[in-house]
């Protein structure tokens, strides 16, 4: 019997341009570092740092093929402008879950 909870941590597969293969691991590592900065900023109620990081993610995610990071960045930026700590906390959690599950494939394997 196969049981899969609704929130199963299935991989999110992103197909990326092979030309970005040297850049994407570093990009994702920087987003993981952003998680720590965001959490610290939230604890200090530093909404300007949160807004700035959200703005950068909004602008960069799609360029690397990570539309979800763009969307999380957009909502983080808005939540920071609204000083909505609960929404910021939710988006930090969403980003953490996404980064944990994302798997990048640079080319299709053809047989």
List, for residues 7-66, the tens digit of each pLDDT value.
457 999 999 989 999 999 999 999 999 999 999 999 999 999 999 999 999 999 999 999
- Would 37 be classed as within a structural domain? yes
Residue 8 lies in a domain: no
Please report whether residue 67 resides in a domain: yes
pLDDT band at 107 (very low <50, low <70, confident <90, very high): confident
Instruction: List Cβ neighbours of 47 (8 Å cut-off, separation of 6 or more).
Output: 41, 80, 81, 83, 88
Q: How confident is the model at residue 3 (pLDDT cuts 50, 70, 90)?
A: very low
In a domain? residue 101:
yes
User: Is 92 a domain residue?
Assistant: yes
Residue 52 lies in a domain: yes
Q: Is the pLDDT of residue 75 over 70?
A: yes
Whether the predicted pLDDT of 6 surpasses 80: no
83: left (phi over 0), alpha (psi -120 to 50) or beta: left
Res 2 pLDDT > 50: no
Instruction: Please report the pLDDT score of residue 4 as a whole number.
Output: 44
DSSP state of 103: E
Residue 72 resides in a domain: yes
* Overall domain count for the chain: 1
pLDDT of residue 88: 98
- 3-class state of residue 75 by DSSP: helix
Question: Considering the domain boundaries, does residue 26 fall inside one?
Answer: yes
Please report the pLDDT score of residue 5 as a whole number.
Answer: 45
Q: Is the dihedral of CA 17, 18, 23, 25 positive or negative?
A: positive
Which residues constitute the domain of residue 58? 22-105
């Amino acid at each position: 019997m196969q049981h899969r909870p609704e929130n199963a941590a299935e991989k999110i597969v992103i197909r990326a341009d092979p030309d970005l293969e040297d850049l994407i691991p570093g990009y994702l590592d920087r987003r993981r570092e952003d998680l720590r900065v965001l959490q610290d900023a939230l604890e200090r109620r530093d909404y300007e740092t949160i807004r700035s990081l959200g703005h950068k993610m909004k602008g960069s995610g799609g360029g690397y093929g990570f539309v979800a990071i763009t969307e999380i960045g957009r909502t983080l930026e808005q939540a920071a402008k609204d000083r909505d700590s609960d929404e910021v906390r939710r988006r930090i959690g969403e980003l953490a879950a996404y980064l944990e599950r994302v798997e990048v494939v640079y080319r299709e394997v053809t047989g």
